[in-house]
Amino acid sequence: MDTPEAALRDAVRSALPRLEAIPDVEARRPRSPGKWSRKEIVGHLIDSASNNHQRFVRAQRTNDLVCATYDQDAWVEAQKYVDADWHDLRALWSHFNLHLAHVMEACPPDARTRPRARHNLHEVAFRAVPADQPTTLEYFMRDYVVHLDHHLAQIFDHETMHPVR
């Protein structure tokens, strides 16, 4: 069975050369009016890695999966990713996600698979889990990779990076 950490490493390793092939001028251009540029999508993925890093570490020591939310549009705007150095964004995104794969791999099996009746994955997960259904940290980790793949597909003009997990 494919683990979320293996899938995350594969996604980073396959996407990074393709991201490197995108010129800065193209990376800063919005995909369409009112949409994020490729730089802003990568910035959002950095924010997602940052937020989920904390969520995954904290969840190992709790009996719930109640996580802080954040306003993704406000975060992208506040950090002015469109004006950031494209090389630096790619490097931060790839290194942060490879570290997150390490965090996933280091998570004890009981913490990954323990059912959590109390959670807010109906608010924070990409593929929502109804509030009245238990879920696991493993599900949340896999959901993170699905979310990442979704945004990579946007960057690469809707090519699917991986099958839905």
CATH 3.40.50.720 fits 4-155, yes or no: no
Tell me what the mean pLDDT of segment 13-42 comes to.
Answer: 97
Question: Residue 1 has which token pair?
Answer: 């069975």
> What are the residue boundaries of the structural domains of the chain, listed by start?
4-155
Phi then psi for 116, rounded to 5 degrees?
-115, 110
Instruction: Name which residue leads in pLDDT, 77 or 160.
Output: 77
Is a pLDDT exceeding 60 seen at residue 48? yes
Over 60: is that where the pLDDT of 116 sits? yes
Q: Express each pLDDT in 57-79 by its tens digit.
A: 999 999 999 999 999 999 999 99
**How far is Cα 136 from Cα 117, in angstroms, rounded to an integer?**
9
Backbone angles phi, psi at 37, to 5 degrees: -80, 170
